[in-house]
């Protein structure tokens, strides 16, 4: 779906771009690029999704779909990507039908997948060997942020590639920031997920406690949301937790994938993450309850 809150687009020269992966996040992100006036070629494993996207954005500048990542990348200045995991990313970037095989020298691959820092460094090196550029650029803001063009993007890579990608990526971003060398964007996204996991578990426990104590928890959240306990999660998920509604985008399965990346990296760098490891197991409990596609605030289901 396009943005539910139409935004104005900065006036920048139109570029020829590709977008690989039209899932919950990629579909609207590619849409913002089209609405900003860029010539967009899309690729998705399920071709019907690509065809539907082209139909939805037919009124924008020339849009088309491709049958392979390589075909989508032909002639593109920038190739954006948002797929599921490390293996999906390698599949669309590498090989005879991968995007790298179709990209012109100097073109930039911008990866919005939440993946490992290891695969980001691997693809950065592979791109450089082919005369290409690579930026790892995972996003935060969820489905609503993608639809509204208000994503926060954490980037790793070379300054020149970042500088060239940033003006185009601002079509779907509220912030697009370089945080260091290749892999730094993925590491920053891990920090983000560590914070969210702890916040959501604390909020779940607080809501469950207050309900058991007989409090009007919506009123309580209104009050404490004006003080030191305030957070985005409280503002946006507290009352839906109270109501038992868990269909707000980012799914438990995806969070477990992300926390798996976090815990793998923690083992590599020697970090101790006892709370994160515990919350990861709590999400495993939610999966056993059939909550694979519930949103991440469903942690409260363990407590009620």
Residue 133, H or E segment: strand 133-136
Is residue 167 domain-shared with residue 218, that is, in the same domain?
no
pLDDT class of 8 with cuts at 50, 70, 90: low
Give dist(CA 105, CA 113) in Å, integer.
23
157 domain-assigned: yes
- The whole-number pLDDT of residue 5 equals 39
- Please identify which of the residues 16, 64, 189, 211 carries the catalytic annotation: 189
Considering the domain architecture, whether residues 82 and 208 belong to the same structural domain is answered as no
Whether 123 and 256 map to the same domain: the answer is: no
Q: Which of 69, 76, 122, 128 is nearest to 98 (CA)?
A: 69
Q: Are strands 151-155 and 173-178 parallel, antiparallel or unpaired?
A: parallel
Are 217 and 252 within one domain?
A: yes
pTM of the model: 0.93
| Mean pLDDT over each residue of the chain, to the nearest integer | 95
Residue 106's pLDDT band (cuts 50, 70, 90): very high
Task: Rounding to the nearest 10 degrees, give the CA dihedral for residues 253, 256, 261, 262.
Answer: 150
Report if residue 218 sits inside a domain: yes
Q: Look at residue 125 and tell me whether its pLDDT is greater than 90.
A: yes
State pLDDT tens for residues 183-233.
999 999 999 999 999 999 999 999 999 999 999 999 999 999 999 999 999
In a domain, 3, yes or no: no
Residues 105 and 45 in one domain: yes
| CA 7 – CA 36 distance, rounded (Å) | 10
Q: To which residue do tokens 């990608």 refer?
A: 165
The distance from CA 222 to its chain's CA centroid, rounded to whole angstroms, is 29
Residue-wise pLDDT for 46-85, tens only, equals 999 999 999 999 988 779 999 999 999 999 999 999 999 9
In a domain, 168, yes or no: yes
Which of 180, 199, 231 terminates a domain? The answer is 180
- What is the per-residue pLDDT for 3? 37
Instruction: Tell whether 156 and 79 lie within a shared domain.
Output: yes
Same domain, 70 and 196: no
219 Cβ partners below 8 Å, 6+ apart?
none
Whether residue 189 lies in the annotated active site: yes
Domain span at 192:
187-302
Q: Which of 180, 210, 227 is the last residue of a domain?
A: 180
Q: What is the CATH number of the domain that holds 37?
A: 3.40.50.720
Query: For 17-35, what is the mean pLDDT?
Result: 97
Residue 218 neighbours by CB distance under 10 Å: 13
């Amino acid at each position: 779906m396009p943005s539910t809150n139409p935004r104005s687009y900065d006036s920048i020269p139109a570029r020829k771009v590709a977008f690989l992966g039209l899932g919950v996040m990629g579909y609207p992100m590619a849409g913002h690029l089209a609405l900003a006036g860029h010539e967009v070629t899309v690729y998705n494993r399920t071709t019907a999704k690509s065809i539907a996207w082209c139909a939805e954005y037919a009124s924008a500048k020339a849009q088309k779909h491709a049958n392979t990542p390589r075909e989508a990348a032909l002639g593109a200045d920038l190739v954006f990507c948002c797929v599921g995991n490390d293996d999906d990313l390698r599949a669309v970037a590498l090989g005879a039908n991968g995007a790298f095989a179709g990209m012109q020298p100097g073109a930039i691959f911008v990866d919005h997948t939440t993946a490992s820092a290891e695969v980001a460094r691997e693809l950065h090196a592979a791109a450089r060997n082919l005369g290409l550029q690579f930026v790892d650029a995972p996003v935060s803001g969820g489905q609503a942020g993608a639809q509204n063009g208000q994503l926060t993007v954490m980037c790793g890579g070379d300054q020149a590639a970042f500088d060239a990608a940033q003006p185009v990526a601002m079509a779907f971003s509220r912030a697009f920031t370089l945080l260091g060398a290749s892999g730094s964007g993925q590491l920053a996204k891990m920090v983000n997920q560590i914070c969210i996991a702890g916040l959501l578990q604390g909020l779940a426990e607080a809501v469950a406690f207050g309900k058991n104590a007989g409090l009007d928890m919506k009123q309580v959240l209104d009050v404490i949301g004006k003080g030191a306990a305030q957070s985005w999660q409280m503002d946006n998920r507290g009352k839906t937790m109270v109501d038992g509604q868990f269909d707000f985008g980012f799914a438990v399965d995806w969070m477990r994938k992300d926390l798996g990346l976090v815990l793998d990296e923690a083992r590599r760098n020697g970090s101790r993450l006892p709370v994160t490891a515990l919350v990861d197991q709590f999400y495993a409990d939610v999966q056993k309850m059939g909550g694979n596609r519930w949103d991440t605030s469903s942690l409260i289901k363990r407590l009620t």
